[in-house]
Amino acid sequence: MYQLFFRLVFRHMDPERAHHLAFAWIRLAARVPVLRTFLAALLAPRHRALRTEALGLRMHGPFGLAAGFDKNAVGIDGMAMLGFDHVEIGTVTARPQPGNPKKRLFRLVADRALINRMGFNNEGSEAVAARLAARRAGRPAFRTTVGVNIGKTKVVPEAEAVADYVTSTERLAAHADYLVVNVSSPNTPGLRNLQAVDHLRPLLGAVREAADRTVPGRRVPLLVKIAPDLADEDVDAVADLAVELGLDGIIATNTTIARDGLGLRSGAALTGETGGLSGAPLKERSLQVLRRLYARVGDRITLVGVGGIETADDAWERILAGATLIQGYSGFIYAGPFWSRRLHRGLAARLADSPYATLADAVGADARKADEAPEADKENA
């Protein structure tokens, strides 16, 4: 039914307009108690076997909404109603900003992918902090884990980036179940330069100090989100830095600026658009980065797999590769409101058919099997 609606309606609308329209419907439904309860029961049935503990937090399952969908924390209850086990809002910047000029969001339907060059359009950390505080002070329809993804304000020079992130941290840390430092969007000039360890070390240290100072008595988990376009040695360097600094997690990965080698079927007019590509074509590279990270850090920090996840098989593969949590966004655009339900049901079935008692037992199982394989088998592989 959703696929028919997508083909007849959404596919012919500007993608950004369609996003705002669909998101408005979700938020409206979440405000009506009877409808909200009905939809949550239909779209978000809970599977006891999928209960997950990560970052010191308990969640109904491992599957969350990636940052970018709800930039301003206006629809957390609506997304929880649809079955997301955690909702990561943002990216939020210290100052409000309109983002890049439109048109800035493109569908690659043949590839089940998106290209965006939104440019961190958001209302700013002060407004978002006030909204999160009001939600927490009231009675949220759903108790769900809320992550807050923060980035650099576009007009702030790279030399002042640390102070910019600290401002957002001071405003938002108290309202976040976890914080994510985004240094990997391709749509803010100079942002990806901050992934270099020499820049990343002081940035993460300053954010950690600001979070601890702002929220005394509670350690807000801190993660960093990296790009799939990092060279393997740079992935290793970020992994080593995360362990050195006692970081709580790494999110792998953001969107890619690559176009070659992804098997894209859409025409050059679409694939040639600048911006970050997300969705199915990103699957293999994101999985490679995740595997490399797990080989480097093991279970010392939490890994979050995102990028090209569409099916329960995709999600299960990320868990076996080392992800404790998984996230999606682009798949939701193409699969519709029953996506989370199908993914959870499929994950529960795969866990039941596996030799693992819990999801936690399955995390990184592929890497452990490879380590346990006889040397001859490794050489043959």
Q: Is 188 annotated as a binding residue?
A: no
Q: Is 68 annotated as a binding residue?
A: yes
Q: Is 193 annotated as a binding residue?
A: no
Q: Is 253 annotated as a binding residue?
A: yes
Active site annotation includes 185: yes
Q: Is 364 annotated as a binding residue?
A: no
Q: Is 71 annotated as a binding residue?
A: yes
Q: Is 116 annotated as a binding residue?
A: yes
Q: Is 122 annotated as a binding residue?
A: no
Q: C-alpha distances in angstroms, 20 versus 14, 35, 39, 70, 277?
A: 10, 20, 20, 10, 20
Q: Is 380 annotated as a binding residue?
A: no
Q: Is 294 annotated as a binding residue?
A: no
Query: Could you count the other beta carbons within 10 Å of the beta carbon of residue 175?
Result: 21
Q: Is 168 annotated as a binding residue?
A: no
Q: Is 368 annotated as a binding residue?
A: no
Q: Is 69 annotated as a binding residue?
A: yes
Q: Is 187 annotated as a binding residue?
A: yes
Q: Is 117 annotated as a binding residue?
A: yes
Task: Give the active site residue among 125, 168, 184, 185.
Answer: 185
Known binding residues for substrate = 71, 116-120, 182, 187, 254-255
Q: Which of the residues are catalytic?
A: 185
Binding annotation: 67-71, 91, 116-120, 149, 182, 187, 225, 253-255, 279, 308, 329-330
Q: Which residue numbers belong to the known binding site for FMN?
A: 67-71, 91, 149, 182, 225, 253, 279, 308, 329-330
